[in-house]
C-alpha cells in the first residue's frame, strides 16, 4: 500500500474522500483496509475502542478535517463513516471554495453512479442531500456563504453501508 502524509489542502482531501465514496460498494469498503486502499491514508484506532478509527488533520489556522468510523451500539464492524470539514475559530463560516463546492461534488457523485435527491426535514424545510448507489448512501450537509449565498459548500458527509432506503 502506497500511503502518503496527511493532506493539508481542501482539494487533496476532497479528491481522496471522493475516491473512497467512488470505490465504496459494501461495508468492507468502509473498513480500515478499504479506507487505506482508496485514500492512501493510514487510519488510526481509538485505544479505548478499536471499532472507532479514522484520520484527521489541521489544514491551517482556521480549518481541519476528520474522517471517523461511527459504530452503532452492537456493531462488530462499523458500517458508517462521518467526514467533517471544520472551522476551528468558532466563527462558523462555510468551508473555503474549491473542490468542496456542492455542484462540483454532486457532479462527481453522479459520474460515480450515485443518484441524488434533496432531503427535507420534519417541517418540510431543506435538510441536505442524499446520494445512493449499490447499498451505499451518502448524506451531504451543505453551508452557504454570506459573501456568496448562492454557492453551497459541503461541510460534512455521512457515508453509510447499512441505511440505504431509510430516511
Which letter does DSSP use for residue 54 in this model? E
* Contact between residue 145 and residue 94 where contact means Cβ atoms under 8 Å apart: yes
d(CA 89, CA 96) in angstroms, rounded, equals 14
The Cβ of residue 55 has, within 10 Å, a number of other Cβ atoms equal to 19
d(CA 81, CA 150) in angstroms, rounded, equals 28
Domain interval for residue 105: 10-160
Question: Does 167 map to a domain?
Answer: no
42 band by pLDDT with thresholds 50, 70 and 90: very high
pLDDT, mean of residues 5-17: 85
Question: Does 29 map to a domain?
Answer: yes
d(CA 9, CA 57) in angstroms, rounded, equals 10
* Contact between residue 109 and residue 116 where contact means Cβ atoms under 8 Å apart: yes
Please classify residue 163 by burial: count the beta carbons closer than 10 Å to its beta carbon, then call 0-12 exposed, 13-18 middle and 19+ buried: middle
Which residues, other chains included, contact 34 with Cβ-Cβ below 8 Å and sequence gap of 6+?
20, 23, 24, 28
Mean pLDDT of the chain: 83
* pTM for the whole structure: 0.85
Residue 4 has pLDDT above 80, yes or no: no
Q: State the pLDDT at residue 92.
A: 63
Residue 36 has pLDDT above 90, yes or no: yes
Over residues 51-100, the pLDDT tens digits come to: 899 999 988 888 889 999 988 777 677 889 999 988 888 776 666 656 57
Which helix (H) or strand (E) is 49 found in, with range?
strand 49-58
In the chain, the number of structural domains is 1
Question: Does 3 map to a domain?
Answer: no
Question: Does 165 map to a domain?
Answer: no
Question: Does 52 map to a domain?
Answer: yes
For 154: left if phi > 0, alpha if psi spans -120 to 50, otherwise beta; the answer is beta
Amino acid at each position: 500500500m502506497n500511503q502518503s502524509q496527511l493532506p493539508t489542502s481542501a482539494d487533496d482531501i476532497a479528491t481522496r474522500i471522493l475516491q473512497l465514496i467512488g470505490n465504496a460498494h459494501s461495508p468492507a469498503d468502509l473498513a480500515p483496509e478499504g479506507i487505506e486502499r482508496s485514500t492512501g491514508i493510514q487510519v488510526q484506532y481509538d485505544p479505548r475502542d478499536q471499532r472507532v478509527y479514522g484520520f484527521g488533520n489541521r489544514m491551517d489556522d482556521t480549518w481541519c478535517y476528520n474522517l471517523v468510523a461511527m459504530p452503532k451500539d452492537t456493531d462488530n464492524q462499523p458500517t458508517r463513516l462521518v467526514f467533517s470539514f471544520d472551522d476551528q475559530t468558532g466563527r462558523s463560516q462555510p468551508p473555503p471554495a474549491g473542490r468542496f463546492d456542492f455542484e462540483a461534488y454532486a457532479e462527481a457523485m453522479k459520474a460515480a453512479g450515485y443518484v441524488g435527491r434533496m432531503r427535507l426535514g420534519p417541517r418540510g424545510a431543506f435538510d441536505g442531500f442524499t446520494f445512493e448507489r449499490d447499498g451505499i448512501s451518502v448524506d451531504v450537509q451543505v453551508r452557504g456563504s454570506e459573501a456568496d449565498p448562492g454557492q453551497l459548500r459541503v461541510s460534512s458527509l455521512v457515508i453509510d453501508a447499512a441505511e440505504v432506503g431509510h430516511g
